[in-house]
Amino acid sequence: MLIRIGYDIELGVASPMALIYMLRVHPSRRDDLVVAEALRISNDLQPEEYIDGFGNHCGRVAVPPGVDSVRFTNLAYIRDSGEPDAIDTSAVQHDPTALPLATLQFLLPSRYCEVDSELLSFAWNRFGTVPPGWQRVQAICDFVHGHLTFDYQAARPTRTALEGFRERVGVCRDFTHLAVALCRCMNIPARYTTGYLGDIGVPPVPSPMDFSAWFEAYLGDRWYTFDARHNTPRIGRIVMARGRDAADVPITMAFGPNSLRRFDVVTEEVQENELRAAA
């Protein structure tokens, strides 16, 4: 299938500052782009782009004096298999002594995922008798999906997994943080993932389009996608960035006073004739 992706994001800024962004399609999906990204930054600002320690495509912008806003726009077309998230109920869980070394950082506590907290004892009491592997991760997703109520009005950028667990409300990042923390409590490497997820193959929702958060768990010999908010395989996920939690994958991070003035995201399936017209 063919998916059109893009955004129009504007930040108000109060002074000269550095600004970083993670607004590119992840390098692992770059070869699927059939019309390359057309990222543009207002005021002719020229970014320095780089790959961070998690393999994400990032950029840094130096906002000069006299500029009071920075606007990012992008449009691209990407090919997707059209297949839902993979399921392998036989995928096994490894003891930490047998895990690949690169996965070990995704067992540790992080900014928003307090593994070393009351979540640890809760996780073992709740999921300790569930067979390890795929069934255990799915049981964690089932719990988080039922425990939290999705509410945009209750969004808070500082909410941690433990706070979400106690408050029982949140948005997709909160569902993801809690599921990631509970997986790590059970010695399952889990990493936070952000990207595009449109209403493809499901009834559309009336709320404005946004980026989405889900997570990946390491089972068997690979990372598998799980989504505690939707708790069902979905079609058309486009990864932008991965990390330990949301602190590692900010869409934008301004190193000074700023405000969000505009935030429009598009991700939708389109037909081939639109691609020909765009070309």
**Which tens digit of pLDDT belongs to each residue from 163-190?**
999 999 999 999 999 999 999 999 999 9
Looking at the fold, whether 11 and 107 belong to one and the same domain comes out as: no
What residues make up the domain containing 13? 2-82+251-278
- CATH number of the domain at 68, please: 2.60.40.2250
Residue 274 pLDDT > 90, yes or no?
A: no
Has residue 89 been placed in a domain? no
Tell me, what DSSP letter sits at residue 110?
Answer: B
- Give just the sign of the alpha carbon dihedral 246, 247, 253, 256: positive
> Does one domain contain both 71 and 18?
yes
Per-residue model confidence as pLDDT tens digits over 199-237: 998 988 877 789 999 999 999 999 999 999 999 999 999
- What does the block give as tokens for 39? 């990222």
Task: Give a yes or no: residue 241 inside a domain.
Answer: no
Claim to verify: residue 134 and residue 201 sit in the same structural domain: yes
Residues 6+ apart with CB under 8 A from 79: 1, 2, 3, 32, 33, 34
Going by the DSSP 8-state scheme, the letter that residue 232 receives in this structure is: S
Band (278; pLDDT cuts 50, 70, 90): low
